[in-house]
Amino acid sequence: MAQGQGDRPCRGGVEGGQGALRRFNSGRRPNPLGAMPQTPFSFQKSGEVWRRKPPAGVRGGSPAWMSHLMITLSDAACAVLAAAEPAEKCRLTRLFSADWRDGRITEVGNTLPPARPARPLRPQLLPPRDMPRRSYGGDRGRIGLIHALAHIELNAIDLGWDIIARFAHEDLPRDFASDWVQVALDEVEHFEMLERLLASLGAAYGDLPAHDGLWQAAEKTADDILARLVVVPMTLEARGCDTTPATMDKLARNGDTLTPPALDVIYHDEIRHVAAGVRWFTFVAQKRGLDPKATYQSHMRERYPAGLKPPFNHEARAEAAFPRDWYEEMARE
C-alpha cells in the first residue's frame, strides 16, 4: 500500500451564504507554491489492512479503534475505492460515514486516490455498444433493468468518495466533504435496495454484463473539479431525474409493483445530488472569478460532446436549483 500523510500507509451541504461555511482543517499549512501536494495511493497490501480487524492490542471491532490509526477522510475514501467486493464497499462506506459524522475522523487529509477503483470479477464489462437492449416486460426484463441500475449505483458509491479525495487539494469548505459522504451513503442504500430486488427475482449483481461508461466519465474529468461536477451530477445524474418517472410508469403498466417504489426513493435522492452538484459548481466557479453559466456551458461543449437532448424534467431540475436557461440553451446547439 502506498504512503499517505508522512510515512503512514493510505487507509481507510452548503447552508445558505458563505458565512455559514467552514474550512477544511487539513492538518498542514497551505503550500506557498500552490495547491497542497497529494500522495499517490496504490492497492498494494490493501487487503491486509482493510479487513477491518483491530490492530494488535486493541480489542473489539467498533469504530473506536479507528482513532488509534488516526486516519483522514481521504484515507477512508482510498479504502472504499480499494474494496473490490460490493458488500465490503458498502460496509466501509457506512463505517466511515459514521466516523466522519460522529467526529472519529476529523480531517479531510490529502491522500490521492487510485485512477480506477477495485472491481469484482463479475460482472463482465463490455463496451456500451455491445450491451444487450433492455425491455420492461417479464422477470427477465426487470432483472436486466435492475441489474443495470445496480451497476450504476455501485459506481456512484465510488464517485462520491473519489470526488472527496481527488479534489482534497482544493480550498473548499468542510461541508463539501460532508455532502459527498452523504451522497456515497445514499448510493449504498440504493445499491442494497436493488440487490434485494434482484434476489427476490432469483438473480444477483454480477449475473449480467455491464459497461464502464460512468467511470470513464470520471477518468475524463479527473483533472478539474468543475468538469467533474458538470459531467457527473449535473449531467448524468440530472438525466436520471429526467428519465426515472417515465421508467416507473412503464414498469407499473407492466404489472411491476415492487421496482417503482424503489426507483421513487432513488429519484428523490438524485434531485438532492444534482442540487449538491449545482451548489458546489456555482461556489467553485465564483471562487475562481468565473461566470457560472458560461463556465457550465463551456465545460459541456468540451467534456460532454454528445450534448443534451430533451425532454427535461424541469420540475425536478428546478427543485435542484438548476437554472433552466443553462441547459436549455445547450440543448438548442
Can you give the residue ranges of every domain in the chain? 149-330
List beta partners, residue 126: 211
Out of 13-22, 100-109, 263-272, least confident range: 13-22
Q: Describe the chain by its helix, strand, coil percentages, rounded to 5.
A: 55, 5, 40
Out of 41-45, 95-99, 240-244, 280-284, least confident range: 41-45
For residues 34 and 231, which has the higher predicted lDDT (pLDDT)?
231
Query: Does the pLDDT at position 35 exceed 70?
Result: no
Which CATH number does 149-330 carry? 1.20.1260
pLDDT at res. 136 = 65
| Three-class HEC string of 235-264 | HHHHHHHHHHHHHHHHHHHCCCCCHHHHHH
pLDDT at res. 64 = 44
pLDDT digits (tens, 9 = 90+) for 124-137: 888 877 777 777 67
C-alpha–C-alpha distance, residues 240 and 245, integer Å = 9
Mean pLDDT for the chain overall: 83
pLDDT digits (tens, 9 = 90+) for 100-148: 999 999 999 999 999 999 999 999 888 877 777 777 678 899 999 999 9
CA distances 142 to 36, 188, 240, Å, are: 47, 20, 17
Residue 114 DSSP one-character state: P
pLDDT at res. 70 = 61
Nearest CA to 41 out of 95, 106, 120, 115 is that of 115
pLDDT at res. 69 = 59
Query: Does the pLDDT at position 8 exceed 50?
Result: no
